[in-house]
Amino acid sequence: MLLATVVLSQPLQWTYDLDSSTDNRLCVVITLQPLDVDEFEVKTAFRSYHRGHLVGEKAEDLGPSFGPPRLCCVDEFLGNDRSQVFISTSHGRIASWLFDFDGTKLRTVYSRTDGRVTTYPVVGENGKGSIVELWPSQDFLATFHDSGHKDSTGRVRRLVSVTLK
């Protein structure tokens, strides 16, 4: 049996539209810059275009990750007529963010970078978004002084509403 390892030497990029009209466009570019065989630097660039010309950019360095983001989701979580970006990475710890970009300001709506809590976004029937946090039961008890309700995997599910502050 022959095993081969492919090493990326060039960055990988994905572009997602957040809002688009005839004259204006908001988008995010997610870049994975190779650091090692299975380690990448994750960067985001939120860009604003007017009539095809770049008029603004805000960058956010999310740090190292083993492989591509665990989860990347673009949806209208806040009900404000533009999409937000949810990104979750893993590098010995799980880190997750929800960003909102209006063309001028980049806001971090949600951030959890402390490690063992798995997160994913959901949009409810009312069109509003929430973040589901799956906590190891001992961590949940230590943080909230409550045992919570464990699911079949032994984790405690917590729903966090997200809004612009």
Q: Residue 54 domain-assigned?
A: yes
CATH number for position 91: 2.40.128
* CA separation for the pair 146, 11 (Å, rounded): 44
**What is the per-residue pLDDT across 127-156, written as a single tens digit (0 to 9) for each?**
778 888 888 888 888 888 777 778 788 888
Nearest alpha-carbon partner for 149 in 116, 141, 162, 122: 141
Q: What local confidence, expressed as pLDDT, does residue 50 receive?
A: 93
Q: Residue 146 domain-assigned?
A: yes
Q: Residue 1 domain-assigned?
A: no
Q: Residue 2 domain-assigned?
A: no
- Residues spanned by the domain of 113: 12-161
Q: Residue 105 domain-assigned?
A: yes
Number of separate domains in the chain: 1
Q: pTM of the entire structure?
A: 0.82
Q: Residue 104 domain-assigned?
A: yes
Contact yes or no for 48/59 (Cβ under 8 A): no
Half-sphere exposure of residue 92: CA atoms within 13 angstroms, side-chain side: 4
CA dihedral 71, 114, 44, 11 (to 10 degrees): -70
